[in-house]
Amino acid sequence: MLMGIYEELGVKTYINAWGKATALGASLINPEAFEAMREASKAFVDIEELHRRAGEIIAALTGAEYACVTCGASSALCAAIASCMTGKDEAKIMQLPDTRGMRDEVVVQKKHAGYYTMLARLTGAKMVLAGDDKGCSLDQFEAAFNQRTCAVIYQANIVDNGVVPLADVLAVAHGKAIPVVVDAAAMTDHRKYVGTGADLVLYSGGKAFEGPTSSGFVCGRRDLVEACHLQRHNIARPQKVGKEEIVGLLKALELYAKRDVKLQLNEEYRKVAYIADSLRGLAGIEVDVVSDSARPEIRRVRVTVDERSLGLSCDEIRKRLADGDPGVILRPSVGNTLVVDVRQLRVGDELVVAKRILEVLSEKRT
């Protein structure tokens, strides 16, 4: 039997029960998108023409005025914030990350200020945090604006209590003529956030859409997206995206828009039910099925562990699963819970995941 490429490299592979996470290579690319990339690699094209045509196609798919392909969602965020500072002024574009003479402050709710969001500082922008770790009131959000504010970043995947909702964010920001950038990197609806009236919306190409891992895009208002295209002359040059990734992303998005959502979810729910049913009844644990707070169509298996009775901590359980053969990586979680995400499990993987969890949970009992 021929050795697999990762085995040949000496790199371990895992069953991905974490989800569509960059840390594990995001999603497995759609085979048709991969084939489109292979075909794209065989010819030379005017990259600027390809970028512009891709922007038109993605705009049609998302309902936006225009779009710009980027090297992942973080690159899309940087292009978006840079464009909110410079507009289409080429002198300002070439001046970045020196922001003298520009509006350069970005308002972000403290609960939305993760390290991905803070990467927007690579453009020279300054982040103004509204509220605290417990939340942000509408008054605190409004108080964060001043004459230097150029944009707002809203994290679509964090909708906890204490977060000012997107509708209110849009009302406040647009009342001050400030654009709102929605980071929807891993969200599953490719039209929803454009439809809210957000000025710019950014996505990862390699997560929900199963396109190239190193692809993403920003879509929305034409003037701001046109400025995103211009950022390739300076701040976005180190984050350039190749012709293969552009074509692969277009094919992946085309297929995603045509997918049978009901069939896909039914298969995911079947795997969730199998794993949950396999673990129920085992002493020392409680098993339930939970929905994602921001994407309720996504269901996961949550296992609450009595660490004392099992004689194993959740950290040790996760480590043993990852170190095993095959290695299984669970979704990160806090406290005494284990979380299984089935979206990247191939057919039959759910049997292996359930078996491996049962084996590890039984190790202290025998």
Q: For residue 240, give the CATH number of its domain.
A: 3.40.640.10
Is pTM beyond 0.85 here?
Answer: yes
Phi first, then psi, for residue 24 (nearest 5°) are -110, 15
26 Ramachandran zone, left/alpha/beta (phi>0; psi -120 to 50): left
Residue 1 confidence (pLDDT) = 36
The per-residue pLDDT for 26 is 87
Q: Please state the domain count of the chain.
A: 2
Average pLDDT estimate for 170-193: 96
Residues 36 and 74 in one domain: yes
Confidence check: pLDDT of 3 > 80: no
- 55 & 169 share domain: yes
Is the model's pLDDT at 30 over the cut of 60?
yes
Residues in the chain: 366
Structure tokens at 82: 């840079």
> Is the pLDDT at 366 greater than 80, yes or no?
no
Maximum Cα–Cα distance for the chain, whole Å? 71
Q: Are residues 76 and 175 in the same domain?
A: yes
Residue 188 resides in a domain? yes
Task: Determine the pLDDT at residue 160.
Answer: 82
9 is a domain residue: no
- Asked which of 228, 256, 284 is the last residue of a domain, the reply is 256
Statement to judge: residues 286 and 241 lie in one domain: no
pLDDT value of position 335: 87
State yes or no: pLDDT of 234 exceeds 90.
Answer: yes
Looking at the fold, whether 162 and 101 belong to one and the same domain comes out as: yes
Q: Read off the pLDDT of each residue in 128-133 and give the average, rounded to a whole number.
A: 95
121 domain-assigned: yes
Q: Which of 113-117, 132-136, 137-141, 349-353 has the lowest mean pLDDT?
A: 113-117
Domain boundary among 256, 273, 292: 256
Q: Do 153 and 132 form a contact (C-beta atoms < 8 A)?
A: no
Q: Cα–Cα distance between 257 and 255 in angstroms, integer?
A: 5
**Residue 181 forms part of a structural domain:** yes
Q: Are residues 232 and 333 in the same domain?
A: no
Q: Are strands 216-220 and 180-183 parallel, antiparallel or unpaired?
A: unpaired
Which burial class, exposed, middle or buried, applies to 93 when counting CB atoms under 10 A from its CB (0-12, 13-18, 19+)? buried
Query: Which of 256, 286, 301 corresponds to the end of one domain?
Result: 256
Residue 339 lies in a domain: yes
* 200 and 59 assigned to the same domain: yes
pLDDT beyond 90 at 177: yes
Q: What distance in Å separates the CA atoms of residue 339 and residue 360, rounded to the nearest whole number?
A: 15
The pLDDT, as a whole number, for residue 39 is: 97
**CB-based contact 66:59 (threshold 8 Å):** yes
Question: What is the b/e burial string over 298-332, where b = at least 16 CB atoms within 10 angstroms of the residue's CB?
Answer: bbbbbbebeeeebebebeebbebbeeeeeebbbbe
pLDDT per residue over 311-350, tens digit each? 889 999 999 999 999 999 999 888 899 999 999 999 999 9
Q: Which of 243-247, 294-298, 362-366 has the lowest mean pLDDT?
A: 362-366
Residue 364 pLDDT = 63
pLDDT for the residue numbered 365: 56
Judgement on whether residues 103 and 222 belong to the same structural domain of the protein:
yes
129 with 206, same domain?
yes
State the average pLDDT over residues 82-109: 97
Residue 184 is assigned to a structural domain of this protein:
yes
How much of the chain is helix, strand and coil, in % rounded to 5?
45, 20, 35
pLDDT for residue 116: 84
Domain CATH number, residue 328: 3.90.1150.180
What the block records as the tokens of 283 is 């002493």
**Residues 160, 87: one domain?**
yes
pLDDT above 90: residue 72: yes
- For 200, residues 6+ apart whose C-beta sits below 8 A from its C-beta are 80, 83, 84, 179, 180, 181, 182, 218, 219, 220, 221, 224, 225, 228
Domain housing 235 = 27-256
Residues 252 and 264 in one domain: no
Average pLDDT across the chain, whole number: 94
Residue 10 inside a domain? The answer is no
95, 140 contact by CB (below 8 A): no
Q: Is residue 152 part of a domain?
A: yes
Does 285 lie in the same domain as 219?
no
Render pLDDT for 42-68 as a digit per residue (tens, 0 to 9): 999 999 999 999 999 999 999 999 999
